[in-house]
Amino acid sequence: MNFRAFFTRISELTAVFTLIFLISWGFSGHAEALADDRDSFTSNSQYTDLRVTKVAGNLEHPWAVAFLPDGRMLVTERPGRLNIVDDGDVQRVDGLPEIHARGQGGLMEVALHPDYESNGWIYLTWSKPDGQGQTATALGRARLDGRSLVDFEELFVQDRYSSPGRHYGSKLAWTLDGKLLMSIGDRGTDPPRAQDLMDHAGTLLRLNDDGSVPADNPFVGHENALDEIFSYGHRNIQGLIVHPETGDIWATEHGPRGGDELNLVEAGKNYGWPVVSLGLDYRTQETFRHTEARRKEGMVDPVYELLPTLAPSGLAIVTPGHFTSRWDYNLLAGGLRAERIRRLLVDDPEGFYEVIHDEELLLGELGRIRDVRIGPDNNIYILTDHRDGALWKVEPGS
**Residue-wise pLDDT tens digits, 224-282:** 999 999 999 999 999 999 999 999 999 999 999 889 999 999 999 999 999 999 887 77
188-227 burial: b if 16+ Cβ within 10 Å, else e? bebbebbbbeebbbbbbbbbebebebbeebbbeeeeebbb
pLDDT at res. 31: 41
CATH number at 38-396: 2.120.10.30
Q: Which residues of the chain, if any, have pLDDT below 70?
A: 1-36, 398
pLDDT at res. 266: 98
pLDDT at res. 59: 98
Half-sphere exposure of 195 (CA within 13 A, CB side): 13
pLDDT at res. 12: 42
375 bridge partner residues: none
Contacts of 48 (CB under 8 A, 6+ apart): 323, 324, 326, 327, 396, 397
Contact 180, 206 (CB under 8 A): yes
Cα separations in angstroms, 200 against 101, 163, 192, 214, 292 = 21, 15, 12, 16, 22
The Cα–Cα gap between 357 and 161 comes to 41
Contact 314, 238 (CB under 8 A): yes
Residue type, 312: P
Average pLDDT, the chain: 91
Cα separations in angstroms, 4 against 1, 8, 12, 64 = 8, 6, 12, 59
The Cα–Cα gap between 75 and 305 comes to 30
pLDDT at res. 311: 97
- Supply the DSSP string of 287-351, one letter for each residue: B-TT--BS--TTSPPPSEE--S---EEEEEEPPTTTS-GGGTT-EEEEETTTTEEEEEEEE-TTS
Active-site annotation holder among 61, 167, 200, 254? 167
pLDDT at res. 4: 41
CA-nearest of 269, 249, 251 to 260 is 251
Output the pTM of the full model: 0.90
pLDDT at res. 160: 97
Q: What is the pLDDT of residues 275-320, one digit of tens each?
A: 999 887 777 777 777 877 789 999 999 999 999 999 999 999 999 9
pLDDT at res. 279: 85
Active site residue 290: no
